[in-house]
A and B are shown apart, each in its own frame.
Chain A
Amino acid sequence: MNSTLLSVEDLHVEFRTYLGTVHAVNGAYLTVNAGECVGLVGETGCGKSTLGFSIVRLLDEAARIVEGKIIFKGEPILEKKDEELREIRRKDISLIFQDPTAALNPVYTIGDQIVEALILSREMTKSDAVEEAAGILASLGIPDPRKVMLQYPHELSGGMRQRVMIAVALSKKPSLLIADEPTSNLDVTVQAQILELLSDLRKNTNMSVLLITHDMGVVAQVCDKVGVMYAGQVIEFGTVREIFKNPLHPYTRGLLKVANLVGEKSRLEPISGAIPDLKDLPEGCLFYSRCPKLTPLCQEKRPTMLEARQDHYVACWNLDGDDRSMR
């Protein structure tokens, strides 16, 4: 159960743009074990989606992975040829997007799209695939799946479309599902249903999930572990219980305070300052300009991930005495 399915080590991704090189991901560490749900949180533009897309190597043309390792099932993803990558995408990794409306092809019916995915990934015959598709849709709580299969994406509601997209993603029985803000566009009740659905599926199929979100509440609800990203760097990684109880990085503390999930309920307390310019990163810690407890060392050298406690990694120079032990 505890075998490592995916590990990302020191990943750096940059985008070449007309305005200069944008350093979108600057040192991302992540481990996903089989059957685990790992959350990836951070504010908008912190590189969480870029990290997610790097894993399947479907980044924009302007993006380049400059450094780092991505190991999936013991094999280095970054050294794969296109053909091998297609095979991995076809069979092993699924991705669901934020906007289900755009992710379904408007000219094909729901049935066509799921059936096609089944035929491609599991080499089923057409009639088997139709049966299977209806089964999957039913298991996702869609009433009257046969009728839905004849409908076009624009005829369904947002929540239904998201279920359909999950159905397409699950059709190949992936070992890893990357969910990029799967519930951000949905209203709260539907959001809860979809999240519940995801956790049920995970329990029943031993599939791992990498859940990309900006919502600490969602993480607390469904994840086993969580990575916190800031300006492209994973600054804290550990079990959800550990991180929520004992956040070590000042940014994580701020984030939890803003989310109002810990401590006494008080007025919203924003983290002052803004994220650094990704085109012109500071030499030292990326959180330097906003950090409440900075030291001269912070400005000179960027902290790397240390194992502060068991299963709890953090990139910060200023940990309280006992919490610190070199990895």
Chain B
Amino acid sequence: MKIDRESPRMRELLLTLYVIRKSKIAVASLVILAFFFAIAVLSPWISPFDPTETHTSELFQPPNSKYLLGTDHLGRDNLSRILCGARYSMLASLLVVFVTVIVGMPIGAVSGYLGGKVDEALMRITDIILSFPGITLALLLAYILGRGIYSAALALSLVGWTSMARIVRGVVLSEKGKDYVLAAKIIGKSNFQILFNEIMPNCIYPVIIQAVMMMGTVIISLAGLSFIGVGVQPPEPDWGVIISEGRQYILEYPWLSILPGLLMITVVLAYNMVGDRLRDALDPRLRGELAAA
């Protein structure tokens, strides 16, 4: 397909990319994220060992030529465990945020646009859900559905969509009072068309920004759930699980916990940096300034 650089959408996209590219931190963060996603996808093939395979004669090995990052208390290869652990953090968080957007966006939009009783009902539901701490809900779900990454992800999605719905509702509320909505009514558009063709495209940027910002929180929460034992189950190697297991030996062998912790911080920071820059790059007013700067 031929790319038309002159078409308006393309022009906009190129400008946004240009603004993002001007920030070294954002570019570095994007590279970091790409790197971790590559690891997440490729981990089954690039791990030197099976992450759950134990080598009972070689416990607590320091880094050496056979085990590049040493071994843990069961003699499992740390490098392989960390590589495979990236899978849960990177991919499961993506799934959670995806569900959040798919569920939260239309609910928030309908709530904001229709207002009245519908709005009242939907917002009270989100209030109720928001009043549960996410961890409590996850514990509850873990007991109902059984422990595992899926019930952890489900629990986080169940809580997460409410904040997305609130954001979209807020934007829709402010957008629906604008004259272009009236103008759309004047040309005879239906409510459905107005909400989804006219208003929603104006909500897309806040949603993207919120989604990116949410990724970091979700990664931390997922690891947290694994850490307390309701997320990924050992011997599967999630970063949270690795940190949790290494905790018992933190004084003698600190690298067991510290390395996955540092990696997690790196990823979360990278997401936040990208989100920050994206917010500026997608703001039509700031964008011009940043492009010129």
The reply to whether B180 and A103 contact each other, CB–CB distance below 8 Å, is yes
A154 touches B284 (CB 8 A): yes
Taking CB atoms, residues of chain A closer than 8 Å to B202 are 105-107
Interface residue B133 (Cβ < 8 Å from any Cβ of A):
no
CA distance A117 to B179 in the complex (A): 16
Chain B proximity of A293: nearest CB distance (Å)? 41
Whether B8 lies near A151 (C-beta < 8 A) is yes
Binds B, one of A35-43, A90-98, A262-270: A90-98
- A121 at interface (Cβ–Cβ under 8 A)? yes
Query: Contacts of A108 on B, CB cut-off 8 Å?
Result: 201
User: What would 12 more interface pairs be, CB under 8 Å, given A104-B183, A106-B180?
Assistant: A58-B182, A89-B187, A90-B188, A94-B186, A102-B180, A105-B183, A105-B184, A107-B201, A121-B188, A150-B8, A152-B12, A169-B186
Smallest CB-CB separation from B11: which chain A residue? A150
| Contacting pair A97 B183 (CB below 8 A) | yes
Decide if A150 touches B180 in the complex (CB within 8 Å): no
B residues less than 8 Å from A109 (CB atoms): 8
Cβ of A168 < 8 Å from any Cβ of B?
yes
Q: Given A150-B8, A152-B8, A154-B284: A97 and B187 within 8 A (CB)?
A: no
- The answer to whether B7 has its CB under 8 Å from any CB of chain A is yes
Cα–Cα, bound, A106→B188 (Å):
19
Contact A172 B187 (CB under 8 A): yes
How long is the Cα–Cα vector from A105 to B178 in the complex, in angstroms? Answer: 9
B:197-218 near A, CB below 8 Å:
198, 201-202, 204
Chain A neighbourhood of B182, CB < 8 A? 58, 95, 97, 103
Instruction: Give the nearest-CB partner of B189 in chain A.
Output: A120
Closest to A171 in B: B187
**A99 interfacial by beta-carbon distance below 8 Å:** yes
The contact size tier of chain A is 20 to 34
Interface residues of A in 88-137 (CB under 8 A from B): 89-91, 93-95, 97, 99, 102-109, 116-117, 120-121
How many angstroms between the C-alpha atoms of A89 and B185 in the bound complex?
8
Q: For the complex, is B56 an interface residue (Cβ under 8 Å from A)?
A: no
Query: Chain B: interface secondary structure?
Result: helix
Chain A positions within 8 Å of B190 at CB level = 86
A-side contacts of B201, CB under 8 Å: 105, 107-108
Task: For A91, list chain B residues within 8 Å (CB).
Answer: 188
Nearest residue (CB) in B for A154 is: B284
Please name 8 pairs of A and B residues whose Cβ atoms are closer than 8 Å in the assembled complex, sorted by A. A58-B185, A58-B186, A86-B188, A90-B187, A91-B188, A97-B179, A120-B187, A150-B7
Q: Which residues of A contact B284 (CB under 8 A)?
A: 106, 154
Cα–Cα distance between A154 and B11 once the two chains are bound (Å): 14
Closest B residue to A99 by CB, please name it. B179
Closest to B12 in A: A152
Provide the residues of chain B in CB contact with A75, threshold 8 Å.
none
Docked complex Cα distance between A268 and B201 (Å):
49
Provide the B3-28 mask, 1 if CB < 8 A to any CB of A, else 0: 00011100010000000000000000
- Given the complex of chains A and B, what is the CA–CA distance between A174 and B255 in angstroms? 75
- CA–CA, A316 and B185, complex, Å: 38
CB of B199 to closest CB in A, whole Å: 9
- Residue in A closest to B203 when the chains form the complex, CB atoms: A107
Q: Bound complex: CA of A160 vs CA of B174, how far in Å?
A: 26
Closest chain-B Cβ to A84's Cβ sits at a distance in Å of 11
Interface-central residue, B12, B183, B184, B202, by most chain A CB under 10 Å:
B183
| A87 proximal to B (CB < 8 A) | yes
Question: A149: shortest Cβ distance to chain B, in Å?
Answer: 9
Alpha-carbon distance between A246 and B204 when the two chains are bound, in angstroms: 57
